[in-house]
Every structure is written in C-alpha cells, then in structure tokens.
Structure 1
C-alpha cells in the first residue's frame, strides 16, 4: 500500500531523510520511533505530499502524493500531535468533513460517544477552544469514521486520560483489519499491544525494522 524508494529530503545542507527504503502493507501496525530530528515527521509529511523529495519517491497505492495528492489523501487519515488551530465550531467542522470527504456524520458522533466525548451538547463550541483531550478525541473519531486504508497517528495518546486511552485502543483493535496503522511515538509501551512491527529511525535513516 505504501512503497518508499530511495527517498531523500534535504533542508539546505541538512539531510532529513537519507535514502530511505521501506514498504507498509495491509495489516501492518507500525510503531515509528526515533529521537527528535531523526526524520520521522519529514517521512510522514512526504507521504502526505507536503514535501517534494530531492531524490527517490513515495507511492501510495501506486499514486504519487505530489502529483496525485487528492487521490492519495482520499485513503489516508492523519491525526497530528498538535491539533490544528481550527476556528470552526464543532458543527461546522463535522459538516465540512462530511461534505469534503464523504464521511458519515452519524459515524463521527458514534465514535466520539465511544470515546466518552459528548458532542451533541457542544456543537456550537469552537474547536479551537476545546481542551486538548477533547480535540484529540474528536480528531480520532473523525479518523475512524473516514474508513481510510492508511491511518497515521502522531503521539496519539499525548492528551488522553487513561480511560480514553483504553477506549482508543479498543476502537483501533475493532477497526484494524486490512489497514496500515502507523504510530509515531516516543512511548512504545503505550502502543506495544497494538503493533506488529517496530521501525527505529536515526539521522534520517532506518536503523532497524523488526516484526514483533
């Protein structure tokens, strides 16, 4: 589903990705680890088409995320570590997601409820003014409702309390079949029971890639 070939990305003289080669296939559940500056974020942004590579390529289901970005993003859900500063109300945001991506609004509400997030009494509130935990729960609910083939979570449990983490893990296990799940994390123990593959990056290279 994801094929990364000889991928190199530089920022000035700094090499952020150094000739990366790896593949992510259906039913891969991956912990992507490494110190700050290892290249994890650059790799994710290259998959999403934010960055143009200096060499090599990324293919998502055979599509290039630069030239076929709309097609690629149809099948990817991404939950960033820091929620974006969206000024829309929850109601406006859900309607926008539903209209632009064809996501079932009732399914978003259902997953939010499963995460113990009461949306119905908060629909007029600005997403920007929600607590960090509420933002994270809503973004997770949207990512699951989209039914994407590839879901990327960047430090997904950072703002979640223990009960919300348990709900998150349960929902992922219920929805993991035939998907690529990619967790960017510094805390392997938090996703260890969910992953079957561990990739460690350092200085822009993949230094280990192990099945577990």
Structure 2
C-alpha cells in the first residue's frame, strides 16, 4: 500500500504538491493524469524517496521511502520517461541487476524477447548507445522480471512503436495480479483496458479520483 498524507513539496516559492492526500492499494491499476506541471512527477519522486517533503509524509507498506529507502525500493519497479544514461553493456547491466536486486537474468532475457528486443545480438552493446525504443524495452523487461508488488511507469510507451506497445500491454495483463500498477500517462486510450482507477492532478492537487469498472 502507498499512503500519501498531507504532502506538500515546494521548489523555492513554487508549490509543486499542495497538501496531497491519496492512497494506492493492492490490485489497483491507476492512470495518473494531468497537464505538464500538475505535480505528477513530483508525486512519483516523493513516493520513490527522491524528494524530501516540506510537510506531510509518504509511507510504502508502512515504511518511510527516505529513511528506509533500500527496503522500500526492494518492492518497487520504476521505468522513467527518459531512460537513464547507463554506460554498462546489456550483459553487464543484467549481471548488476541480478546481483543487486536478486532478479533472474534469464527472466530478464525472457521478457526482452517477449518485447521483441534481440538481446543476444546486443549483449555487448552499451545501453547508452541503444535507440530510445530498445532502451525502453530493456527497462520494461527488467521491471517485469523483478516481480515487484508496486510497478510505476512514467509514459512507458513514449518511445515504442505500435507493435511494441501491444506487446507491453499484453505482458502487463499477464502479470497484473496482487500488485499496484501506476501509470503516469497522457494516453488514457492506451491504458483504459488495464486501469481500474483514474486520478487527475492539476496545480499540485488531486482534482478527481475515480474508480472505473474493471475490464
């Protein structure tokens, strides 16, 4: 469970989150929407423990994501909108993920193959030098292989072609039980068959929070 209580985050005089209260629970698949500057990314980074709040708190399964960050991140997979500048080869990256997060390398390769990423052909290529679509496929494969009970995707299909988007959503539907899936998205039409909750933010506040019928 993710609990956000009276959360306020300011950057200088700008209020990015304005006394936000919201909970996300197991078996909820949420579309988090809103215009640029609404506070969506700040909320996600607060959940991940990247930002210290000015007031209020975030709890992940009862744990503080800042003070108990290692324990919290063990249960979260996160795919950012912009892939990080990782200089490791794909083989080195998988070895690192396997050692640091106890994620099965063969399972990463399985999901990469399901995403039509030819990982064997690119094993020794630097992640940094891959195309945007290939990077996104690799990060999605890692997120699914980790088997986290909280998965957060920030515009996950931005660099994917239509076929890869179909593969991504097919894999999610196969793996959606007993977890929280949180999509930061401008593409409600894409996720409407997966999500059962739609949250809309603007100006640092929750404007609407609607349960929708499960598909």
Per the shorter chain, which TM-score range? over 0.9
> What's the CA shift string for 1:43-77, capped at 9, x where partnerless?
00000000000111000000000100000000000
Q: CA deviation at 1:209?
A: 0.2
Q: Which residue of 2 aligns with 1:198?
A: 198
- Tell me, in whole angstroms, the C-alpha distance in 1 between the residues paired with 2:122 and 2:41: 32
Q: Which residue of 1 aligns with 2:33?
A: 33
Q: Secondary structure at the match of 1:165?
A: helix
Q: Which residue of 1 aligns with 2:4?
A: 4
- Tell me, in whole angstroms, the C-alpha distance in 2 between the residues paired with 1:188 and 1:81: 16
Q: CA deviation at 1:190?
A: 1.2
Alignment RMSD (CA, Å) = 0.5
- Quick check: 42-51 or 185-194, which moved more? 185-194
After superposition, residues 28-177 of structure 1 pair within 5 angstroms as: 28-177=28-177
Structure 1: 4+ residue segments shifted above 3 A = none
Q: Which residue of 1 aligns with 2:210?
A: 210
Q: CA deviation at 1:117?
A: 0.7
- Tell me, in whole angstroms, the C-alpha distance in 1 between the residues paired with 2:57 and 2:94: 33
> What's the CA shift string for 1:78-99, capped at 9, x where partnerless?
0000000111100100100010
Unmatched tracts of structure 1, length 5 or more: none
Unmatched tracts of structure 2, length 5 or more: none
Q: Secondary structure at the match of 1:210?
A: strand
What TM-score, normalized to structure 1?
Answer: 0.99
Q: CA deviation at 1:127?
A: 0.2
- Tell me, in whole angstroms, the C-alpha distance in 1 between the residues paired with 2:64 and 2:132: 33
- Tell me, in whole angstroms, the C-alpha distance in 1 between the residues paired with 2:138 and 2:12: 37
- Tell me, in whole angstroms, the C-alpha distance in 1 between the residues paired with 2:116 and 2:80: 20
- Tell me, in whole angstroms, the C-alpha distance in 1 between the residues paired with 2:24 and 2:137: 26
